[in-house]
Chains A and B, each alone.
Chain A
Amino acid sequence: MTDLAVSLSGVGKKYPFFTLDNIHLQVPQGQIMGLIGPNGAGKSTTIRILMGLVHQDHGEVRVLGHRMPAEQVAAKWNIGFASEDMRLYESKTLEWHMNFIRSIYPQWDVTYAQRLLKRFGLKAEQKIKGLSHGQRVKATLLLVLARRPRLLVLDEPTTGLDPVARREILRELTDVMTDEGRSVLFSSHNTQDVEQISDQITFIDRGRIIDSMDKEVYLDRWRRLRLEAPSGIEVPALPGIIDVQQDGRLAVATANAFAPDLANAYEGTGVRVQCIETMTLEEIFVANVEHSREGVGA
């Protein structure tokens, strides 16, 4: 049995214009979970609930074995949380912040902090007010990483970063995985980041989880089939197919539950399968959101 770093079951929260509905989410220990979804889907709300910053109306939240929000003080010793709206003291230096965090968290790793300073190209003696957006993001992450928390919770850690900085952040996140006892949950709009580094993927749209599973299994279920139909025949949407686009004899079908016999099934209906293509997470993201919105009757 794998230990769970995070577990949400039946979690809901109602706002006047937004409802987070029946969220079930599990992050196994030693893994990276990527949370994706369009703007306003509920990613940040979910993260705030599991951090105990927002209290759910119903449902159970456990983080590192602690019930949230009730036991958040105990839980937070081992959680490193960073989000965009986090504020540092403008008139203080990065070093002042480092010493401050170190005085609170005894597990602060001085050597690692120095290494991160160098890798991120930051200067400890610089005041926060002189830092660019990217440098602030990196400074915030440094303060969180150097505590070596058992769980990292990061809301949009790569948003607004240049490609080099993004790469540095992804590198540090995957480095954390050298230790099997540590886990990461992060949200992102950048599907490439999520595809590259996560072990698990959770898709949120309009306050609901559409999918949550092993990334390899997930990517493997999606395919694009290029089809050629006899003239005058409309390509049917066989089971497992969520979308068919056809003009003339050529058609493209998108499968979200692909199995090799799907191709045979098409051949059986007289439709020729020209090729079967894998899809990137970006393409799946778009197809999935469009499909789920059709289903809801948007």
Chain B
Amino acid sequence: MNGSFVISQSDKRPIYLQIMEQIKRRIAVGDWTEGQPIPSIRQLAVDLHVSVITVKRAYLELERESVIVTQQGKGSRVAPNPGLGTRLQEQELQKYLEQAMRLASLLGIQPQELESRLREAGDNVAAKELI
């Protein structure tokens, strides 16, 4: 049932971070909805063939970020938090923007130039989507 969770071995990030990201993606695209129960730690560990402790770590961090809530004896669910999916997408956008800024500063590109490059990129994406 969790067949599309795939842990990448060429992804050098720790496995718990990969699990967190894949859960956030499910919420962002709306596959997992607000308040919906999610697999228990042990069940997800068995399904993904990773250790219980790793899934536990991912769930604890997701709880800290208020993405999921865990109730003793009742298991975990997606936080009943309106707009959570959108917020997660916002976070992802922010991450890419910051990364772009870092690369730009390495290349000595000024913010104004980056802005026009971003518009150009927008035109490229729009052109492709028309095809």
**Residues of A bordering B, CB below 8 Å:** 30-32, 167, 170-171, 174-175, 177-178, 180, 192, 195-200, 214-216, 219-220, 277-278, 280
Contacts and interface: CB of A to CB of B under 8 A. Distances in A.
A171 to B, nearest CB: 5
Interface in B62-110: none
B20 interface: no
B8 to A, nearest CB: 11
A197 B51 contact: yes
Interface stretch (B31-39, B52-60, B116-124): B52-60
Contact of A280 (B12, B49, B50, B57): B12
B46 A174 contact: yes
Contact of B53 (A171, A199, A278): A199
24 contacts: A30-B52, A31-B51, A167-B49, A170-B49, A174-B49, A177-B45, A177-B46, A178-B42, A178-B43, A178-B46, A195-B15, A197-B49, A197-B50, A197-B51, A199-B51, A214-B53, A215-B51, A215-B54, A216-B16, A216-B53, A220-B14, A277-B12, A278-B12, A278-B14
B4 interface: no
Contacts, number: 55
Given A196-B15, A278-B12, A278-B14, A177 B52 contact: yes
Nearest to B13: A278
Q: Does more than half of chain B's interface fall in helix, strand or loop, or is it mixed?
A: helix
B50 A216 contact: no
A220 B60 CA distance: 15
Contact of B52 (A31, A175, A196): A31
Highest count of chain B CB atoms <10 Å: which of A167, A174, A175, A280: A174
A171 B42 contact: no
A283 to B, nearest CB: 9
